[in-house]
Amino acid sequence: MASAGPALGKSGRHPWTLAVLGVAHAGAGRADLAEAVYAELQVRWRQERTQCFWIADVAAALGRTEEAMAWATRAVEEREPFGLFMSRWPGFSEVVEGHPGLPGLLAKLGIA
């Protein structure tokens, strides 16, 4: 986590970098920091239209299955490239695997 600050700076606070940090914070039991990342990604989505999948990934790490699925659905609807990996994305796929909406979402991707 010590390298997170420089990595964020060098990436320009890229959403992918932020999501990785948010997931790491959630995994380390720092829900407060993960929540802050989740909130920042949502604000940036409204302002810049960042990729929804990264927001879904942090929501999943926080255990917010319904929110993760809502953001994943939006990622599929917006044809985001990382949506294709959601059924195998580490951490994310384990959280949403039992969700009743997942089979339909994967079918939309042609990977059901």
Q: What pLDDT, on a 0 to 100 scale, did the predictor assign at position 7?
A: 64
19: left (phi over 0), alpha (psi -120 to 50) or beta: alpha
d(CA 85, CA 20): 15
Q: Tens of pLDDT along 13-56?
A: 888 899 999 999 999 999 999 999 999 999 999 999 889 999 99
Average pLDDT over residues 62-91: 90
d(CA 40, CA 12): 13
Higher pLDDT, 54 or 88: 54
State pTM to two decimals.
0.87
Whether 58 and 35 have beta carbons less than 8 Å apart is answered as no
Q: What pLDDT, on a 0 to 100 scale, did the predictor assign at position 1?
A: 56
Q: What pLDDT, on a 0 to 100 scale, did the predictor assign at position 90?
A: 85
CB atoms within 10 A of CB 82: 18
Joined together, the tokens standing for residue 88 give 């195998």
Q: What pLDDT, on a 0 to 100 scale, did the predictor assign at position 83?
A: 78
Residue with tokens 């796929």: 93
